[in-house]
Amino acid sequence: MNTSGSLYELQKLLDEFIAKRAWQKYHRPKNLAMSVAIEAAELMEHFQWCDKDPKDFSDEEKAEIAEEMADVLHYLLRLSSVLGIDLYEASKKKIAKNEKRFPLHLAKEMKKSGC
């Protein structure tokens, strides 16, 4: 896994890409949030009717999934740019909140719900 670069660097690359094409006028919060959901649905299509183990996905399938994941991330990064939200800090705060919400002693006792 490549760990070089940062979320901030990726966001700046994306912001520059958008600015060079003058697409900012289309990047309203509502449109970006809808695009996140649309791209997430496209990602889910790769798993619909399929319950494979991770090792069973072909390289071609992984490449297609990676593109959809990148689309979701790009729209989230754009939304955070437009709204002036530091997504890295927001994520750290959410992890800290979840640590309190799901303490280790309770997490180990949690039962799976759903199917």
| pLDDT of the residue at 63 | 98
pLDDT, tens only, 8-48: 999 999 999 999 999 999 999 999 999 999 999 999 999 99
Asked if residue 93 has pLDDT above 70, the reply is yes
* Mean pLDDT within 65-77: 98
Longest distance between any two alpha carbons in the chain, whole Å: 52
Q: What is the pTM of this model?
A: 0.84
Residue 108: C-alpha distances to residues 25, 36, 46, 70, 80 (Å): 47, 32, 30, 32, 34
Amino acid 46 reads H
